[in-house]
Amino acid sequence: MVPGSGFAIGPTFTKPLGDGKFILQVDARAAVNQSYGGRLELSMPRLFSDRAFANVSLQHRNISEMPYYGPGPDSSKTGRSNYRLEDTNAEFRPGVRVFQGLSAGLIGSYLAVNTGPGHATRYISADEQYGPLAAPGIDQQTNFWRGGGFVEYDWRDRPAYSTSGGKYSAQYVRYLDRDLGAYSFLRLDLDASQYIPLFNRTRVIGLHGSSSLTTAGDGQRVPFYLQPTLGGSNSLRGYRFNRFYGDNSVMVNGEYRWFCSPTLDMAVFVDAGKVFQRWEQWNLHNLESNVGFSLRLKGRAGSPGLSFDTAFSHEGFQIWFRVNTTN
């Protein structure tokens, strides 16, 4: 479910198969705003003596109130609309571990997408507010073949809640519009995190940067529902979920985290980022920004089981409550 769906509930079933060589996971969720979704995943984390791994998954989502504020960095908070996003993704993701921490793999999937009028009555439906020029693909839906690859180097000490090390990843995916031939594009996602421990890891400075870049050929456009977005608990926390849509995005986060007790960490953070139209605008000028603080309740393993983030931006403040969070 996405933020704003309200209370959601659902079962998760996990079963190791073949003495743990395979893991089958099935989960389903339904929210009070009539959103629902399910996922079936078979993962093979250790193939060929741990040198390879693979995931096969089938996922379906029907999100009844996906927010949309219009395109680009100049969109207005008051321009909020909502749309229904229904997608089904069948994906195969094999990979190899080149050496400790470094892995690379391929992505192949089939993605079927449908959009429609939003369920929320307090916001206008996106198709009534924005036409296909502002929101490409809002009038026509299509299905995609997705193919690409990824490379990742991860040397964090604890992936669930890192105190040192870093993770750097790049993912390149080509979206091929197989029905309309109008929405084929390329997407490149770059992500880097670095953690600097102080005072026996009781203080941590966390730095994070990410950028998503897309490009479409002549006569092609990136559909708005597959555009990079900013805003939410994992990006600009002082802004509403998916507050900004654009063909490209760049974002940086900085965090200072300190130990309060074995069960509580606190943090202050700053987030900044923007969406933009052309690659030439890839820079750190004219960023939207926010500051905030966070309370993290930790379990015995030292990872937060509950997290409360409060962030302040010029658009107001947001409170994010998360369960089983990572970094």
Partner 1 sequence: MVSRKHHKLTMRRAYWLAAIAFAGVIGQLGFAQDHGRKFYPDDPLWREPAPRPVSGITTRTVDHIYDFLYGSYVTPRLEGKAAKRAPQRALDVNTLGEVPDSAWYTNRHSVRRMSIEELQRGPGNTTPPDPNGPWRITSAKRDGITPGFVIEDAQHNRYVLKFDPPRHPELCSAADVIGSKLFHALGYNTPENYVVHFRREQLEVAEGVMHRPPNGKKTPLTGRLVDELLRAQPKLADGTYRALASRWLDGKVVGPFDYRDTRSDDPNDTVPHQHRRVLRGLAVIAAWVNHHDTSQINTMDTLVTENGSQYIKHHLIDFGSILGSRGDRQKEPWIGHQYSVMHKETAMRAMTLGLYVSRWERSDYPRLKGVGLLDAWSFDPLQWNPEVPNPAFLMMDNADAFWAAKQVAAFTDDEIRAIVETGKLSDKRAADWIAECLIKRRDKVAQAWFSKVLALDRLRVTDGGLEWVDLAAGFGPGTPSEIQVQWKVFNNDQGTSEEIPGERSARLPEMRGDGYWMAVLESPQRPKQSVHVYVRKRGEAAQVVGVDRTW
Positions in the binding site for partner 1 (CB under 8 A): 16, 19-20, 199-203, 256, 258-264, 266, 268, 302
Kindly state the smallest distance separating residue 99's Cβ from partner 1, in Å.
17
In terms of CB distance, is 93 or 201 closer to partner 1? 201
Rg (CA), the chain: 20
In terms of CB distance, is 98 or 198 closer to partner 1? 198
Kindly state the smallest distance separating residue 50's Cβ from partner 1, in Å.
8
In terms of CB distance, is 181 or 262 closer to partner 1? 262
In terms of CB distance, is 207 or 267 closer to partner 1? 267
Q: Report which secondary-structure segment, H or E, holds 179.
A: none
Query: Exposure of 177 by Cβ count < 10 A (0-12 exposed, 13-18 middle, 19+ buried)?
Result: buried
Kindly state the smallest distance separating residue 203's Cβ from partner 1, in Å.
6
In contact, 175 and 143? CB cutoff 8 Å: no
CA distance 106 to 309: 35
Kindly state the smallest distance separating residue 16's Cβ from partner 1, in Å.
8
Kindly state the smallest distance separating residue 257's Cβ from partner 1, in Å.
8
| DSSP string computed for 248-295 | EEEEEEEEEEEEEETTEEEEEEEEEEEEESSGGG-SSSS-EEEEEEEE
CA distance 291 to 268: 8
Q: 3-class SS at 79? A: helix
Kindly state the smallest distance separating residue 307's Cβ from partner 1, in Å.
15
In contact, 84 and 67? CB cutoff 8 Å: no
In terms of CB distance, is 200 or 286 closer to partner 1? 200
Identify how many contiguous H helices and E strands the chain contains and give both numbers. Answer: 1, 19
| Alpha-helix residue ranges (DSSP H) falling in the chain | 126-129
Between vectors from CA 102 to CA 214 and to CA 144, what angle results, nearest 5°?
30
Amino acid sitting at position 189: D
In terms of CB distance, is 19 or 74 closer to partner 1? 19
Kindly state the smallest distance separating residue 162's Cβ from partner 1, in Å.
14
In terms of CB distance, is 19 or 218 closer to partner 1? 19
